């Protein structure tokens, strides 16, 4: 590190993350109490066939007493996928846990994500190295990556590299896909009697890796609080200047947990939830009408300002758009299309070849976005949906509709939009007290699971709405969270992604309030994450988990 | 208020802002010690002619002892211009100061900025009203506005409205323009023996209202710390993911203090400073080359990521662009141009009529931005320079140049840009301890100045790098900061705007480090503003003021 550290980092380095009582008092070598054999969330037979060694394992809960960990362990760890606040603390907890089992334990960090394991790029941690990263944000300690570790030949290389270092345990810190692959690796290692155990840790700011047993993925708490800080500041600005509608897009392509959590923290006038759009089969026109109606109502009350939250993945949840994008992907691959030089010709070709619904959906989009969809494609030749600036698109379309209404005399306000997109702003924030404690406990528990000789488990900390001493540590079999889904045209065993449930308590709490929030000024200003103040401020978990678990 | 408050707001409501020792111990009715008569920063004769009553007043410093404030005061206050963190605390300090002079004092808040004064829209404050806004961000307590109060007939209306409420003092919380107009109002009131005194308070997140006597405008501390929090988080993400160059535009059209302060707080790879671009007469091409060169150097060291800070006003400081924009403004007013329907025809017309340098500058811009400049105009028919997404423009042009270099084999990296713009995120943040104390002290001092019968002064708190008890409270004559400038084609007496000084200590500190920052990873992660922690974290002022005043 060539970095000096900021005053906050210096102060924060001294923070000692809290552990569940049993681990705090007795260390990681405790009794691994086992429940009954488990089943998968669905497709039990298929999962069992695919994971004969890992299927049906019992849930593990750590209890006071002396466990089986008698010798030093050599363990490897990787960070996989997108950054999430607290990753460094998982590694610190793992390191401390392993060293507590034996001062002779070793922890290796494989560099740049899963590819570090296959390419044998690693560092060995020591106290000074780990101490420099305690309670900090980012994944820069060893980097991360998106290489998928899912093929037998990759697994063989991993085993070979681990054996060279006498590594008998691997910890994969990742989201649903990375943990699915961790389970495949665990199964491979068990089947081939490699002696290598694999433990996962649930990471993702998106909040979509959770279920009955995993109450939250780490990073969601911190990231959603950073976004809520910014949304609150913008709300206060809107309410002061009284002249702009701010459209704020929030990271999270496949689930809207972040948008929902931020809505519960900040009370915006409108928050779109992708899962609801899909369930109600809403058209883009209907979404635009819904927003424009709220703008009109507030304008009638002399309030030409407001806040709209937009989940990043919205477009792909609008049925007509989803169909249009699928058709577009096919047509863009047509050699005839690619031979055309003129934008008009391209446009006419698409118009002619698409279904009527898709053609209309395509033509709803402003010219600039149409051009972007025709031109910019990802390495697989697909439309770059993530490049669509949905927040600007909505401002544009809402403005057009309001102009129509104005011409008819239905609307007399002034509409001026400002767009924002928050994602990178929150993924590497220094972890909140909650995430600092939760992550450290997850890592420490991973050490305990390895000490107990477990494999194919996700490190688990439960009872998260209580204070840390009441948290329950253990492990959940990865197969228990799996089902069969169609991915890229093939059936695949995967950890089931948690989308926003429209009959869940967080959504219902939002749905109950949103009509009032739309017209009133009910804005709530959470302010920045605090690390040192009163517990009411510093230790409050997310609204989502409070509603789900209290 | 229909709002409930967040846990942080609830905790923060109890914070008692700190005052300079003399005011903390003796209240606002202290001795107003006067220095020698003053002069303006330039153009003394003109300023004296324009402000015969207000010119040459002495600097006032409050000292222990009993002052002249013997009776209750009725005072009006307005918030003028853009939001800045701490405005509510100025009003709270003013209210507390006036009530300390006499419990029978009254404070009226005029609504929606200067227009509230002419339209006689106001509220009367009481304890409950003020208490709900202590230590909060935003200007929503009474709103703000941008109406210019500068004509005699406006002043006459203001006086009439004040007299109806027995108001004998007005406090204008605003930036350089608003305080220039406050001085005109003070002069008008004095000349016409209205008995109404006018005091200003220095507000603006841009940091451009400062001089020998005014060490900082309020809001700059908080806003620049919010932006630095976000920049630090993005730096950590860049350093973790190692695949993006983030181009971050920061609010501040006329001065680059924010970009400079954020650079000193976060050590980005590149920070552009508009004042330097202008002084060096840099072309857009040169700026793009400078960035691309840094990208290439880092790519050579296998670092395809980095951070670039871009001040909002950059384009207008590039000489060729400034000329181009001026020419474009004239040509867009041409009826022949406006009669053209076809984009190509419009483009050809502009190309033919502009000077060669401007035509080339215009054609440097991507098509989308050219179209935007031709189409979108402000209510005066001018090009909307602020609509140019400079951060995207730079990503686009740097990418093009790197592709040229790649074709020649000079560059082998991967360049992928992400754009951000931070402005509204910081203007209404809850004030830092510094801004909470500073603003409260400014308001309290404004009450003291009115109690001492002063008019035509800017409330002043000095010695700001020391702890609050060592701060020096007083008043600076508004005319002292004035000079004559050309504005909209006319000579006008105005408060001199403080741009970044290229021989000043903050810029020199940055200039000394930036070559190292460009190639090394010297990122610094300040984290979010803390209100409750150790003083090293919570009470550190900006790097700018530390460098300027230590």
User: What pLDDT shows up at residue A383?
Assistant: 83
User: What pLDDT shows up at residue A436?
Assistant: 98
User: What pLDDT shows up at residue A550?
Assistant: 81
Pick from B402, B216, B386, B228: nearest CA to B307: B228
Query: Which residues make Cβ contacts (< 8 Å) with residue B442, sequence separation at least 6?
Result: B90, B93, B201, B202, B218, B459, B461
Question: Complex ipTM, two decimals?
Answer: 0.96
Residue B513 to residues B133, B256, B517, Cα–Cα distance (Å): 41, 17, 6
Query: Tokens 């009872």, residue?
Result: A463
Give the helix ranges, DSSP H, for B72-151.
87-101, 114-118, 127-131
Query: Could you tell me the maximum CA-CA distance found in chain B, to the nearest angstrom?
Result: 80
Q: Do B137 and A525 touch (CB under 8 A)?
A: yes
- Beta-carbon count within 10 A of B158 CB: 26
**Contact A9/B at CB under 8 A:** yes
User: What pLDDT shows up at residue A202?
Assistant: 98
A4: alpha, beta or left, given left = phi > 0 and alpha = psi -120 to 50? beta
User: What pLDDT shows up at residue B108?
Assistant: 98
Burial A464-486 (b: 16+ CB within 10 A, else e): bbeebeebbbbbbbbbbbbbbbe
User: What pLDDT shows up at residue A3?
Assistant: 55
Nearest CB among A143, A244, A424 relative to B246 is that of: A424
* Percent of chain B surpassing pLDDT 70: 99
Residue B157 has pLDDT above 50, yes or no: yes
The residue-averaged pLDDT of B427-453 equals 98
* Percent of chain A surpassing pLDDT 70: 99
Residue A334 to residues A342, A374, A395, B485, Cα–Cα distance (Å): 15, 12, 33, 62
**Contact B262/A at CB under 8 A:** no
The Cα of B338 is separated from the nearest Cα of chain A by a number of Å equal to 22
**Contact B341/A at CB under 8 A:** no
Residue B261 has pLDDT above 50, yes or no: yes
Q: Do A144 and B240 touch (CB under 8 A)?
A: yes
The residue-averaged pLDDT of B446-462 equals 98
Residue B79 has pLDDT above 70, yes or no: yes
User: What pLDDT shows up at residue A2?
Assistant: 43
Secondary structure class of A220 (helix, strand, coil): helix
Give residue-wise pLDDT tens across range B303-315.
999 999 999 999 9
User: What pLDDT shows up at residue A373?
Assistant: 85
User: What pLDDT shows up at residue B1?
Assistant: 40
Residue B354 has pLDDT above 80, yes or no: yes
Task: Give the chain A residue nearest B427 (alpha carbons).
Answer: A237
**Contact B121/A at CB under 8 A:** no
Active site residue A96: no
User: What pLDDT shows up at residue B2?
Assistant: 43
Residue B3 has pLDDT above 60, yes or no: no
Query: Which residues make Cβ contacts (< 8 Å) with residue B109, sequence separation at least 6?
Result: B76, B77, B78, B91, B116, B122, B123, B124, B125, B141, B142
Q: Do B429 and A527 touch (CB under 8 A)?
A: yes
B459 beta partners: B475
**Contact B239/A at CB under 8 A:** yes
Q: Do B3 and A522 touch (CB under 8 A)?
A: yes
CB B75 within 8 A of CB B90: no
Give chain A's residues under pLDDT 70: 1-3
Q: Tell me the residues of chain A between 481 and 520 that have a Cβ less than 8 Å away from chain B.
A: 520
Contacts of A138 in chain B (CB under 8 A): 236-237, 239-240, 525
**Contact A526/B at CB under 8 A:** yes
Q: Tell me the residues of chain A between 47 and 106 that have a Cβ less than 8 Å away from chain B.
A: 82-83
The Cα of A264 is separated from the nearest Cα of chain B by a number of Å equal to 11
Q: Determine which of B236, B426, B515 to mutate to test the interface with A (most A C-beta atoms within 10 Å).
A: B236
Contacts of B531 in chain A (CB under 8 A): 530, 533
Secondary structure class of B47 (helix, strand, coil): helix
Q: How far apart are CA A488 and CA B203, in angstroms?
A: 56
Nearest CB among B368, B524, B530 relative to A368 is that of: B368
Give residue-wise pLDDT tens across range B464-485.
999 999 999 999 999 999 999 9
Q: Where are the beta strands (DSSP E) in A403-512?
A: 417-422, 457-462, 472-477, 482-487, 490-495
Residue B151 to residues A362, B107, B118, B182, B413, Cα–Cα distance (Å): 53, 25, 11, 11, 59
């Amino acid at each position: 590190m060539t970095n000096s550290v900021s005053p906050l980092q210096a102060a924060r380095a001294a923070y000692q993350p809290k552990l569940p009582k049993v681990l705090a008092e007795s260390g990681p070598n405790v009794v691994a109490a086992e429940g009954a054999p488990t089943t998968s969330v669905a497709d039990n037979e298929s999962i069992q066939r695919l994971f004969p060694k890992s299927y049906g394992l019992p849930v593990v809960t750590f209890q006071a007493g002396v466990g089986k960990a008698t010798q030093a362990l050599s363990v490897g760890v990787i960070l996989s996928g997108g950054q999430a606040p607290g990753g460094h603390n998982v590694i610190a907890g793992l390191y401390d846990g392993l060293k507590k089992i034996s001062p002779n334990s070793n922890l290796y960090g494989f560099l740049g994500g899963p590819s570090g394991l296959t390419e044998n790029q690693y560092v060995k941690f020591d106290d000074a190295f780990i101490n420099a990263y305690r309670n900090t944000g980012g994944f820069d300690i060893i980097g991360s990556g998106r290489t998928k570790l899912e093929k037998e030949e990759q697994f063989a290389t991993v085993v070979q590299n681990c054996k060279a270092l006498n590594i008998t345990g691997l910890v994969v810190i990742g989201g649903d896909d990375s943990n699915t692959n961790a389970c495949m690796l665990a199964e491979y290692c068990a089947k081939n009697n490699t002696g290598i155990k694999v433990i996962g840790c649930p990471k993702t700011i998106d909040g979509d890796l959770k279920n009955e047993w995993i109450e939250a993925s780490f990073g969601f708490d911190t990231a959603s609080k950073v976004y809520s800080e910014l949304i609150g500041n913008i709300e206060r600005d809107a309410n002061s200047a009284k002249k702009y509608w701010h459209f704020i897009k929030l990271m999270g392509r496949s689930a809207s947990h972040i948008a929902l959590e931020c809505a519960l923290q900040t009370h915006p006038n409108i928050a779109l939830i992708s899962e609801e759009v899909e369930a109600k089969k809403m058209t883009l026109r209907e979404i635009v009408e819904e927003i424009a109606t709220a703008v009109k109502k507030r304008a009638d009350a002399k309030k030409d300002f407001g806040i709209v939250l937009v989940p990043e993945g919205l477009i792909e949840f609008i049925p007509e758009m989803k169909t249009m994008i699928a058709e577009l992907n096919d047509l863009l691959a047509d050699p005839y299309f690619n031979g055309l030089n003129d934008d008009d010709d391209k446009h006419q070709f698409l118009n002619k070849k698409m279904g009527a619904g898709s053609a209309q959906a395509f033509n709803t989009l402003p010219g600039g976005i149409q051009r972007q969809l025709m031109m910019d494609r990802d390495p697989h030749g697909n439309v770059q949906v993530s490049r669509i600036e949905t927040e600007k698109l909505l401002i544009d379309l809402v403005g057009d509709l309001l102009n129509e209404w104005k011409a008819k005399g239905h609307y007399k306000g002034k509409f001026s939009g400002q767009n924002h997109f928050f994602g990178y702003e929150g993924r590497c924030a220094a972890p909140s007290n909650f995430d600092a404690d939760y992550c450290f406990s997850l890592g420490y528990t991973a050490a305990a699971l390895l000490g107990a000789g477990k494999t194919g488990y996700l490190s688990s900390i439960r009872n998260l709405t209580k204070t840390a001493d009441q948290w329950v540590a253990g492990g959940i079999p990865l197969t228990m969270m799996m089902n069969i889904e169609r991915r890229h045209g093939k059936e695949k065993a995967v950890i089931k992604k948690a989308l926003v449930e429209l009959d869940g308590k967080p959504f219902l709490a939002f749905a109950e309030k949103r009509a009032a929030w739309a017209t009133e000024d009910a804005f709530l200003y959470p302010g920045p994450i605090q690390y040192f103040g009163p517990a009411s401020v510093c230790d409050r978990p997310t609204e989502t988990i409070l509603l789900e678990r209290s």
